[in-house]
Amino acid sequence: MDAPNLTGGFVALLGLQFDEVSGDRVVIRWRVRPELHQPFGIQHGGVYCSVVETAASVGGSLWLADRGQVVGVSNQTDFLRAVREGELTAVGTPVHRGRSQQLWQVEITDADARLVARGQVRLQNLSPA
């Protein structure tokens, strides 16, 4: 999976920009904007969940490479600080990479390096068909 293939679809709707993409670390930035707010004018929690899942899936896929594909089987994301505007950065790193599953942790911070959300995704490694 190459970074140029990560620019369409849902990623484009969220406005995600990939600063670093490898099987060991994924860094994603995006701007909080009104169309990503929930009704009370703050970043929607589903955006955080989506970014956490994206970072883990991209990193996990690159690590597994031609040995198969990954699918998310669990996503737990905690929302720690309300954000109304500005740029956010997500950094995903592996916690465990095994034969059948991977566990990735993703931390999301604001421009002042304050932690605003944290999540983890368990990925299932699927063998090629």
User: In the prediction, which pLDDT does 3 show?
Assistant: 44
Q: In this structure, are strands 86-97 and 101-109 parallel, antiparallel, or unpaired?
A: antiparallel
Query: What single-letter DSSP state applies at residue 40?
Result: T
Q: How many domains does the chain have?
A: 1
What is the CATH classification number for the domain harbouring 90? Answer: 3.10.129.10
Residues in the chain with pLDDT < 50? 1-4
Domain of residue 62 covers 3-126
To the question of pTM greater than 0.85 for the whole model, the response is yes
pLDDT, one tens digit per residue, over 93-114 is 999 999 999 999 999 999 999 9
Distance CA 25, CA 46 (A): 22
